Structure 1
């Protein structure tokens, strides 16, 4: 008996439990379970108390190379506040323990990292869905917020990792987002990238493949690509693709069969959400892998994913993905990939179609007979130009969601005609033309596509100051710098020709557009 009226003293933890912290409840810190968790029948978990000793931050032995467009090489130190304080289990039996006991610890770590950037979870999620989501709608907004406010428990570890990669994407000046503290933010941003990549790898070891983990890997790859590291992005997207195969999100037929066997309406709605989110995520992987492959250093690498068949249904648009809980499944569009002329195709579906054309270009390169290959590429050139003539009016001269499809189609034309220019067989008579005639035709095509890129650059430069202070990724997709550099490459290779004076003047326009695209905006600079 104790001296306080005979009541037994209850051991207390040093801080509130994970669930009370997450739900912003007052915690009595009782051990082994607080009163709130005991009353609700919840698994009470206390995060480990960090040591008071100061530990030096580890160094990164091989920091990634500087981006190809000349950004500064980041520091190789990770701030100690971003170092994970707890080791995640890695044995085969740890998945369940991680899901039910350590999920709160992972979320608290992620929440602390997000706060260290000066943001809240609400900030990054709102920014993500208002910006990047329109270009790559792989995350269901409905399921995202349902997972975020899971009743009685912190979000799962894989979802917490996804939150951290969303923070990384929305924190990235190279994507056009505002930066509060100038150049120092690039160092913090690189540290955030290292931390997100490390945590993602740890959770992957302990959890089975899941859609949130696949999406997190996809966002990491996009981050690498937008920072001028397509080779790294190509490796990362391959890992996400293999996880996607492991989770079977590529097999839409399996999900449709499961939906047909579901009688409960609420369960049916949830299954529809999961199915369509998984399908869009798979499309995102297929699209990004081919975009990244256009820029890799070593071109004789295999793609991990197979492009969906021509009769496969196109992905659904973000506005539909965000309303699946109130829409009739029968009302969903059912337009196949091959239907290029349909007037009801949205921006993400156009992106999938443009990627289909790019994929056909890659496959055309594998045709062993040179004459047959040239004829095949000639037909593809016609198809891509027809696609552009259809998609560009949809953009209506504005920076918007159709820009990604246009940029990918333009990149496909650069890829196609550069390939023709490097062919050097002794005799080529494909379509009754010599190789010299094919080369001349490709030079003219590259002149034309470069003019298209210059027109896009002028549109970006002409944007008013009030418009350019907004999140520029809403208007220009991450692939834009690559097509601008492709146009510059063509200009540099054409400087010896006498009829290309306009190309020399275009060089300045392209460079200004790139500077404008990568310009970091500061709140203090917003004077307009």
Structure 2
């Protein structure tokens, strides 16, 4: 009679199949063609992985989760995954070596990593004292998150609150490092730059960047860490910290691709996410859309600069409605494709994703144009007519849902306005306008509506401020961009000799940027550019 093991093998336990426990290899593993490996004790949950020296062995958790940090993925207690929020944890050299071996195998040979049922061992790094000072204990982390989630920011729907609270506030969570990092980045996002740091590089910013670099260098990879990087990128964009902002967004794109998030636009579950909770999959999709949005937003001022991410396609999946995501009621069938959702009522972030797809079309068109010449046959007005109509139709979908003040926080409208004004500026340059009359003659109907709406927005916000209403706390960085582009287009219309209406509009835009620079430093940078543009136009008039 063939010898029989006391407990099932790792592959059968992992796939939850009945194992015949035959030694040395069970029949199911023989049929499947996989390596059969038995635990040496009943409670063992780890496959033994030899170290590089071939002598010492370390254990690596089993599983098919390609994410390195998976909450609740192991019941193992150890010195580095059972800790209070700010305790320092140290991994032994053998664990670090095993961690490095496993991460290398996952990246170099992902199929072998899956077939061997390997998983990355949990490893945390020490929490620097300056980070601990900024995040504090549970109460302070809770206050930071409450401030972040209460603000009308478009990035709130990118973070699944239940997961964040479980990571950051659960004392038994093995992902404490990630939770503290994300809490720190939330605080960074919500904190305006101090007046004594005119470049935006505050002590909090430096501590956040340093801690993020340490976590990234340690090799810990998870969606939580990527969300932290996105918040850092937004802070850098909002406070005009360049080229750091551009490089951070590029790093986010690479990080997301390494996690397989880019696959979620063409596949509901992507790669190796079949067993993952659906809300986590949707969170990953939204994170990738956030990266796509930032990548294209950075190119609005320079369409010729290459994008880091692949263009979204007409049949790519959109994020689900914001409320179903935030309430954890989203289902796979709730996901719609870009091609099917233009006429349906969708959430704010979904609309922003749609607007990003159209902005991408505008950027592609502008970047593909040949240099202007005397024999130029390109008719931008005709070639972009359908695109402009589609963008304006998307704007009209939400126009009735917002009054003039709320448009200031309507990101999909702001970024759609940016696309129209980008096409307008390109058209004026091709036809070489030389007077205000030329500017009006060659102005798109959509551009005229955009400028009228922006002027009304600036007037309403100034009136609110004069009446004592608080401005600036919750406005997204998209508002700074469209106010800047609207002012730049209006100055271009004046051609160095602006009439009274143009002067009044420019003054309103300048006031708004001046007022909002206390929240976002980039508003002051935009104001300086506008003043330079006016001086240049006046010198050639």
Q: Find the aligned partners of 2:479 and 2:334 in 1 and give their Cα distance.
A: 29
- How much does 1:271 deviate? 1.5
State the distance in 1 between where 2:277 and 2:316 align. Answer: 20
1:235 aligns with 2:247: yes
Cross-structure match for 2:410: 403
Residues 1:414 and 2:434 aligned together = no
Preserved contact between residue 296 and residue 359 of structure 2 (Cα < 8 Å): yes
2:393 alignment partner in structure 1: 386
For the 8 Å contact 1:92–1:206, the answer to whether it is kept is no
Task: Give the number of aligned pairs.
Answer: 412
Separation in structure 2 between the aligned mates of residue 218 and residue 236 of structure 1, nearest angstrom: 8
- Distance in 1, matches of 2:389 and 2:200, equals 46
Whose relative contact order is higher, 1 or 2, with alpha carbons under 8 Å and at least 6 apart? 1
1:167 partnered with 2:167? no
Among 281, 287, 305, the alignment partner of 1:275 is 281
Corresponding residue for 1:26?
Answer: none
Per-residue deviation, 1:121: 0.7
Cα RMSD between the aligned structures? Answer: 4.1
On the 8 A contact 2:128/2:211 being kept in 1, the answer is no
Q: Where do residues 103-122 of structure 1 align in structure 2 (5 Å cutoff)?
A: 103=125, 105-106=126-127, 110-115=131-136, 120-122=140-142
Write the deviation string for residues 466-525 of structure 1: whole angstroms up to 9, x where unpaired. 98437732xx3211112212222223333347774211011221122223323469xxxx
Q: Deviations over 1:56-90 (max 9, x none)?
A: xxxxxxxxxxxxxxxxxxxxxxxxxxxx9999999
* 2:459 aligned partner: 458
Tell me which residue corresponds to 1:356. Answer: 357
- Give the one of 308, 311, 336 matched to 2:315: 311
Deviations 1:28-60 (A, max 9, x none): xxxxxxxxxxxx98423699xxxxxxxxxxxxx
Aligned partner of residue 152 in structure 1, secondary structure: coil
Q: Which residue of 1 aligns with 2:232?
A: 220
Give the distance between the partners of 2:514 and 2:472, measured in 1 at CA: 15
Is residue 169–residue 223 contact of structure 1 (8 Å, CA) maintained in 2? yes
Q: Which moved more, 1:400-409 or 1:241-250?
A: 400-409
Deviation for aligned residue 1:149 = 3.4
**Other-structure match for 1:504:** 503
Contact 1:358 1:408 in 2 (8 A): yes
For 1:453 and 1:333, the matched residues in 2 are separated by 34
CA 1:387–1:246: 2 relative to 1, 3 Å: same
How many angstroms does 1:276 deviate by? 0.5
Kindly state the Cα deviation for residue 139 of structure 1 after the two structures are TM-superposed.
0.8
Partner SS state of residue 430, structure 2: coil
Q: Where does structure 1 lack aligned partners over 5 or more consecutive residues?
A: 1-39, 48-83, 174-181, 263-269, 426-435, 522-528
Give the 3 Å change call, closer, same or farther, for CA 505–133 of structure 1 in structure 2: closer
Matched-pair contact (CA < 8 Å) for 1:357–1:384: yes
Match of 1:320 in 2: 324
CA contact (8 A) 1:161 1:199 kept: yes
Counting only pairs closer than 5 Å after superposition, residues 26-105 of structure 1 correspond to structure 2 as 42-44=77-79, 100=122, 102-103=124-125, 105=126
Compare 271-280 and 84-93 and name the one that shifted more: 84-93
